[in-house]
Amino acid sequence: MADLKLTNVKKVYANQVEVMRDINLDIKKGEFIVFVGPSGCGKSTLLRMISGLEEISGGTLEIDGQVVNDIPPSLRGIAMVFQSYALYPHMTVYDNMAFSLQIAKVEKGEIDKQVRRAAEMLQLTPYLDRLPKALSGGQRQRVAIGRAIVRRPKVFLFDEPLSNLDAALRVATRMEIANLKESMPDSTMIYVTHDQVEAMTLADRIVLLSAGNIEQVGSPLELYERP
């Protein structure tokens, strides 16, 4: 539900190596953007700068027209889904999804509504009372996605969410994410992967990175199926 604008964004780590140079990118509300590129090209760095987990060394990041460089992660309206789904092992699926809303002192009925809505969307309703250890890897990753959904973020960031799953689960969970995109058409999604199939099936636009630069931006057809 948000526009994002990156203007001349740079990243220099403490070791003084410039790993990101003058990134310029406009992302429209509701777009599904996939960052692809070889290992070490800066995909995670870029995602972490957008989330606020990593400081921006130069340039500006705007969300809905507001510069957010100095705004902490919790206030950016962004939710991130990581490669390894760090669920709370002693909490049920329901409580894992409810937890961040409880911390934020959201009213109980509203928490229940959001958790059940997310569970329906992700086909987790039958598992709400289970502990994470009684779920498959794919189901656990869906709970991690559910935790992001309940917060109704403006922007979803996915950092290689399927890479820890075996092949069959990867396909099934990829389809869940495609469904999520359909059922939340107003949510802006940014997704990092090095898997071309994921990029082609999920992306509205693909951003190809190479050594800290944007190499190419285009639709899946433009990037992968040129004659």
Residues lying near ligand ADP in the complex (CB under 6 A) are found at 13, 15, 19, 37, 39-45
Between 43 and 154, whose beta carbon lies closer to ligand ADP? 43
Q: Rounded to the nearest whole angstrom, what is the least distance from the CB of residue 157 to ligand ADP in the complex?
A: 12
Q: Rounded to the nearest whole angstrom, what is the least distance from the CB of residue 120 to ligand ADP in the complex?
A: 31
At residue 224, φ and ψ (nearest 5 deg) are -110, -15
Q: Rounded to the nearest whole angstrom, what is the least distance from the CB of residue 95 to ligand ADP in the complex?
A: 28
DSSP 160-224: STTTTS-HHHHHHHHHHHHHHHHH-TTSEEEEE-S-HHHHHHH-SEEEEEETTEEEEEE-HHHHH
Q: Rounded to the nearest whole angstrom, what is the least distance from the CB of residue 51 to ligand ADP in the complex?
A: 13
CA dist., res. 222 & res. 28, Å (int): 18
CB 154 within 8 A of CB 2: yes
CB 24 within 8 A of CB 6: yes
Between 50 and 111, whose beta carbon lies closer to ligand ADP? 50
CA dist., res. 214 & res. 208, Å (int): 6
Between 45 and 114, whose beta carbon lies closer to ligand ADP? 45
Between 116 and 194, whose beta carbon lies closer to ligand ADP? 194
Between 52 and 127, whose beta carbon lies closer to ligand ADP? 52
Q: Rounded to the nearest whole angstrom, what is the least distance from the CB of residue 40 to ligand ADP in the complex?
A: 4
At residue 13, φ and ψ (nearest 5 deg) are -80, 170
Between 15 and 225, whose beta carbon lies closer to ligand ADP? 15
Q: Rounded to the nearest whole angstrom, what is the least distance from the CB of residue 6 to ligand ADP in the complex?
A: 15
Tokens of 32: 């599904």
Tokens of 31: 């777009």
